[in-house]
Amino acid sequence: MPITNTTDLSALLQHMLAQCQPLYRSGKVADYIPALAQVAPQQAAVAVATLDGRLHSAGAAQQSFSLQSISKIFGLVMAMNRLGDELWQRVNMEPSGQPFNSIVQLEWEQGIPRNPVINAGAIVVADVLVSHYSASKTAFLTFLRRLTAEEAIYADQQVYLSELEHGNRNAALAYLMKSFGNIEAEVPQVLEHYFHQCATAINCEQLARSLLFLANRGVQPHSNEQVCSRRDAHRVNAILSTSGMYDQSGEFAFKVGLPAKSGVGGAIVAIVPQFGVITAWSPPLNRFGNSVVAMQLIQQLADELGLSLF
């Protein structure tokens, strides 16, 4: 790939970051979770982690933010490892074509979510974890600490409590699925896990390193651990390609051409198979819930370095 010939990637990242700064005013920090509304908007970071152990970053790359929907990747991998193909009887793998927190579609389809990276699907995944781990929140943090090779990974308690207090729509999704028999554990316990994993705090550098296994056929390079099977790594990347960017998934595939996942905390992570992972973060979001600056950074980097899969 052209990126292997780039001797000063950090300087390129710094230049791109400076170019994107006017875009801060084009978005709005998420405010439906009050704790997120308090995050200073004029911040940005980008990091690139490669399979050979290199890490390049620019901006506030060590500033922590809450994972939010990006946490769905880690929960999904844990559930796939624990439940196997049985998981796909409870959640599909199709694009939704609806907002990520749609209730109407879930009613039409009798409690089976379209995919595991919309809220309803991630709540089913949380139910799997609660039902199959004696301490699911601890298990999730342990998994993430292992992937980042850092012990200082915790949930942000302010964000967690804020989500618990204002998570009524997610509760509605969970109770609706419970009525269809697709939630096994008690709904409050499932929601506590889901909000806790969404509130997990991480920075761009840690996040980029943590997902290298998806670029490496399921094997985490720094530990040589087989985190998931090659087939499951393929499946996760496929779902991220079709559904990982909310209602902009098609546009992102069209413009960037990489499996990706966003979160309303302002981060976007993009997987470059057989090369590495790009993470970008900036709090202001567009109307789809995707970071304006992070999308632009990843698109520019993919264009500059020829990273598209297509």
Give me the catalytic one of 46, 190, 264, 269. Answer: 264
- Asked whether the predicted pLDDT for residue 5 surpasses 90, the reply is no
- Asked whether the predicted pLDDT for residue 195 surpasses 90, the reply is yes
Cα 188 to Cα 129: distance, rounded to the nearest angstrom: 14
Please give the average per-residue pLDDT across 176-194, as a whole number. Answer: 98
- Asked whether the predicted pLDDT for residue 6 surpasses 70, the reply is no
The pLDDT score that the predictor gives to residue 100 is 66
What band does 291 get if pLDDT is binned at 50, 70 and 90? very high
How does pLDDT run across 39-86, given as a tens digit for each residue?
988 999 999 999 999 999 999 999 999 999 999 999 999 999 999 999
Q: Tell which residue, 249, 254, 259, has the closest CA to residue 289.
A: 249
**Least confident window among 97-106, 118-127, 170-179, 248-257:** 97-106
- Asked whether the predicted pLDDT for residue 216 surpasses 50, the reply is yes
Looking at every residue in the chain, the average pLDDT score rounds to 93
Cα 280 to Cα 215: distance, rounded to the nearest angstrom: 17
Contact in structure between 121 and 115 (CB atoms under 8 Å): yes
Give me the catalytic one of 29, 46, 57, 72. Answer: 72
Active site residue 72: yes
Tokens of 112: 């089976």
Active site residue 69: yes
The pLDDT score that the predictor gives to residue 280 is 97
The pLDDT score that the predictor gives to residue 299 is 95
Active site residue 39: no
How does pLDDT run across 79-131, given as a tens digit for each residue?
999 999 999 999 999 987 766 667 888 888 899 999 999 999 999 999 999 99
The pLDDT score that the predictor gives to residue 169 is 93
Domain 2-305 homologous superfamily, CATH: DD-peptidase/beta-lactamase superfamily (3.40.710.10)
- Asked whether the predicted pLDDT for residue 173 surpasses 90, the reply is yes
Domain boundaries, the chain: 2-305
Give me the catalytic one of 66, 69, 136, 249. Answer: 69
Please give the average per-residue pLDDT across 189-204, as a whole number. Answer: 98
Tokens of 270: 């993009």
Radius of gyration of the chain measured on its C-alpha atoms: 18
User: Given the DSSP bridges, would you call strands 276-281 and 267-272 parallel, antiparallel or unpaired?
Assistant: antiparallel
Give me the catalytic one of 194, 227, 249, 269. Answer: 194
Cα 73 to Cα 76: distance, rounded to the nearest angstrom: 5
**Least confident window among 25-29, 53-57, 94-98, 300-304:** 94-98
The pLDDT score that the predictor gives to residue 252 is 95
Active site residue 178: no
Give percent of the chain above pLDDT 90. 83
- Asked whether the predicted pLDDT for residue 14 surpasses 70, the reply is yes
The pLDDT score that the predictor gives to residue 99 is 65
Cα 206 to Cα 203: distance, rounded to the nearest angstrom: 5
Tokens of 148: 């980042």
Active site residue 264: yes
Give me the catalytic one of 71, 102, 128, 246. Answer: 246
- Asked whether the predicted pLDDT for residue 226 surpasses 90, the reply is yes
Tokens of 5: 């010939």
Please report, as a single letter, which amino acid is at residue 172.
A
What band does 32 get if pLDDT is binned at 50, 70 and 90? confident
